[in-house]
Amino acid sequence: MYLVGKINVISALPEKFKRLNDIACNLWWSWNPEAIDLYREIDLDLWEKLGKNPVRFLQEVSQKKLHSKLNDAEFMKRLDDVVSAFDSYMTEKNTWFSRTYPESTHKAIAYFSAEYGLNEVLPIYSGGLGVLSGDHCKAASDLGLPFTAIGLFYKQGYFSQRINAEGWQQTCFNDLNVSQLPILPAQDSNGKQVQINITFAGRTVYAQVWKVQVGRINLYLIDTDVQQNSPGDRALTSRLYGGDQETRIQQEIFLGIGGIRVLDALGIHASVYHMNEGHSSFMGLELIRKLITEKNINFQEAKKVVENSAIFTTHTPVPAGNDVFPLYMMDKYFGDFWGQLGLSRHDFLDLGLKKAEDQNFNMTVLALTLAGRKNGVSELHGAVSRDIFSDVWPEVPKNDIPITHVTNGIHTLTWLSPKIKALYDKYLDKDWKSKIYESSTFENIDNIPDEELWETHRELKIKLIEFVRARLKQQKLANGESMEAVRQIDSFLDPDALTIGFARRFATYKRANLIFRNLARIQKILNDPEKPMQIIFAGKAHPADGPAHEVIKNINDIARQEGFYGKVILLENYNMTVARNLVQGVDVWMNNPRRPLEASGTSGQKVCINGIINFSILDGWWCEGYNGENGWVIGDETEFDNENSQDNIDSESIYDTLENIIVPLYYNVNEKGIPEEWIRIMKNTIKSLTWNYSTDRMVKEYTERMYLPAIKGSAIVSADNFSLAKQLSAFEQQMKANWSQVQIYAEKSASSLKDYKSDSGHDIYLTAYAKLGAIEPSNILVEVYYGSLSNGSIVNAQAMEMKLENRADDGSYKYSINLKIEDGGEYAYTFRVIPRNPNFINSFDTGLIRWVE
């Protein structure tokens, strides 16, 4: 035997092709199919073999194939067009943001997320949260926001999923090769790769920083795999959501605290800090520490500055989705930190304690405490979040809890089929891509001939079936199944049969196997000889989620049974490649989470842009998106105490709707074989949903409701040596110190509120008396709080400010209002006092409130 040495030969690009490398190193190509087509055309087999990775493709493509294209005039013309489009995009100054907010173009927005789903070649995402983060970045680029993203570089990604011959999920990890990825060293002003370090638990851990170019914006990824670290610390950032709680808290320290240090090292001074989920919440502590150290202000003053610049988005109503750490772990990693904030251990821990869970430090509670602007990701999720975290503001009514919502969207051009895009290019306005967020953009969808839309959809469905068959063959071969079983796959799935898609993270609350609750009934639906149906499943279960593994096993077992074989398909290794094929090729997208546990759910938004119809529980975004003419619902808005009853009722709704509405409608075709009514719903889906559930609309909404107010607020609160921050801090401390003196009552001697009778639309004169102690009347707001009476409580409540009339001899203040209620019914009312300050982001953030008792 003899020794060998490696020789790595990189294909030398002809001069005219060198711009292809610039494009390969910027994920702009991932949402511009014209660019992708160039790589595919040079060598399609190599492109597919290398996982559609343009960086690696250019490293390995043969010189012969490159040079053959130099003489292809049509190819070279398209290359010039793509390069021109890329350069035009990258240098565009007249973006939506620059046109609308020219005064804020230099105000940096920093965005923190634990995962980013930008493209399958960079697998640092696990599911919806990561894809949402990636789509957010792309839309920020398209709209021209001054946006910088921060994350961690997981060299082994999340995991690759295999489903073995017995139907059990197996997890596999593979190291990513940085040299083959669209990723570059992040360089400081001296041209050196940025490095940071953090000292915790008695040791210093170092990290290097990488840059991912996403159109006009940059994503910076923190990587602890550096020589200065021990083997354990080098592996710290290797896996997304891997390891134990020790690994998780260390990763989150690097994401939050390390992320701020990355921005400092790069010289990026942000005006806005957006925490996407609670994983990055330690960011706020580092900002406060820096302000205390560098600006010589105290904790409360620094906290006011951070509140005005920090935004927090929560994505889950499921307790397991909110990271918590035991207090001993907080002592271990932050024992030397709270002193730098000027806090005691008790006060520090109180920043993250949920009152009912006082033995765990909750990262979501920390984010809610430090961020001035907070939101859920759909209207229903905002309400659910206000309920879940009501004990952070125990005296505040749920409707007044300062958590609003911005409904999620998807990056349209990433998920839009090129074939459907060609129809949009043909029948919509030429500039439709620059105004995706406008409802009028898609009004001309009706101009697309039914035959043309249906034929395009059918082509995509055939493409999906070919993709699925190829993947299934790989699965069976990997599991050692016979060649006969492999050959059988060519008969799986009928291009003419109604095809349902179900693909998402296989958390148990998503109920992936709900449709199999009554096996005999669904088998009958699938096997109707005149109107057949088929279902394609895909999804990963978290490695530690045993019950979710059982769901995968259950679906796999059913798929192998007679009557289901070849009609129920379970694909392994759900990723963005699988998702893209599914959301472009099925007929119906089914989603049946246990309401109200779906925060938003964006997979259904990805299908509607391709004319695919949603069939979903009224949860998450579908509560807002469904209009009766653009899809179907499963069940209703009833919320159940008994999960078994809920599953029974929802599964029956699935069967009834399939049998009585969906299947008959799909097969109701005209003399040309076109299902006219089905296509009408397809077009309604596109018209009503595409614009509103885009990240263009979503990021515009974040900009207008969150980013711009934070930019203005952080500037005001920091001006004149933080004078307003100091005033607000002093004001809040004064309120808290004197709040015990505040009292409110209806009459000076009454122990209850009066009952009134009035005709609708007539004034009801109400009075209340407030004792304020050392607090000035100008610093409080007295309100009547009223609404319908239901089971002794006020529902659908409203609040109206009361007018100060005079000061009584006993020092109390009299307030009054003429309350007018237009509609008849039984109502209830009470009075309350809250602090008032024109510079508060939200008066309820203080948690100070006094009711009539």
What's 653's domain CATH number?
3.40.50.2000
pLDDT at residue 767, rounded to an integer? 92
The mean pLDDT value for 124-137 works out to: 95
Check whether residue 220 and residue 320 sit in a common domain. yes
pLDDT of residue 749: 57
Domain boundary among 693, 719, 752: 693
The one-letter code for the residue type at 550 is E
Are 318 and 432 in a shared domain? Answer: no
Residues 399 and 502 in one domain: no
3 state SS of 479:
coil
CB atoms within 10 A of CB 74: 8
Q: Assess whether pLDDT exceeds 80 at residue 320.
A: no
Of the candidates 381, 408, 435, which is a domain's last residue?
408
Number of domains in the chain: 4
Q: For residues 458 and 348, state if they share a domain.
A: no
Supply 375's token pair. Answer: 């939101």
64 backbone φψ class: left, alpha, beta (φ>0; ψ -120 to 50): alpha
Alpha carbons 644 and 429: distance in angstroms, whole number: 50
Indicate if 383 and 497 belong to the same structural domain.
Answer: no
Residues 357 and 444 grouped into a single domain: no
Q: Could you tell me if 746 and 649 lie in one domain?
A: no
d(C-alpha 288, C-alpha 652), whole Å: 53
Q: Is the pLDDT of residue 243 over 90?
A: no
| One domain for residues 605 and 686 | yes
> Which pairs with CB-CB distance under 8 Å and at least 24 residues apart come from 427-435?
none
pLDDT, one tens digit per residue, over 29-38 is: 999 999 999 9
pLDDT in tens, 391-448: 899 999 999 999 999 999 999 999 999 999 999 999 999 999 999 999 999 999 999 9
Rounded to the nearest 10 degrees, the angle between the axes of helix 245-253 and helix 327-334 is 40
Contact at 8 Å (CB) between 572 and 472? no
**Which residues touch 577 (CB under 8 Å, ≥6 apart)?**
52, 120
Same domain, 392 and 279: yes
* pLDDT at residue 321 is higher than 80: no
Where does the pLDDT of residue 492 fall: very low under 50, low under 70, confident under 90, or very high at 90 and above?
very high
Give the tokens for residue 36: 């992708």
**For residue 231, what pLDDT band results from cuts at 50, 70 and 90?**
very high
In this structure, the number of other CB atoms found within 10 A of the CB of residue 530 comes to: 6
The mean predicted confidence, pLDDT, of the chain is 94
pLDDT of 743 strictly over 60 = yes
d(CA 299, CA 337): 13
Alpha helices in 630-766, H assignment, sequence order: 643-657, 663-666, 676-689, 695-702, 708-738
473 inside domain: yes
State which of 674, 693, 712 marks the end of a domain.
693
pLDDT in tens, 472-483: 999 999 999 999
Residues spanned by the domain of 182: 108-158+170-408
Residues belonging to the chain: 853
Do 401 and 444 belong together in one domain?
A: no
Please report whether residue 760 resides in a domain. Answer: yes
CA angle, residues 431, 433, 438, in degrees to nearest 5: 90
Of 815, 804, 819, residue with least CA distance to 765: 819
| HSE (side-chain half, CA atoms, 13 Å) at 763 | 6
Rounded Cα distance between 507 and 542, Å, is: 8
Cα–Cα separations (whole angstroms), residue 534 to 494, 502, 527, 592: 8, 11, 9, 17
| Gap between the Cα atoms of 170 and 572, Å rounded | 10
304 and 184 together in one domain: yes
pLDDT at 701: 98
- Average pLDDT score over residue span 257-261: 98
The pLDDT of residue 637 is 87
Tell me, yes or no, whether 684 and 789 share the same domain.
no
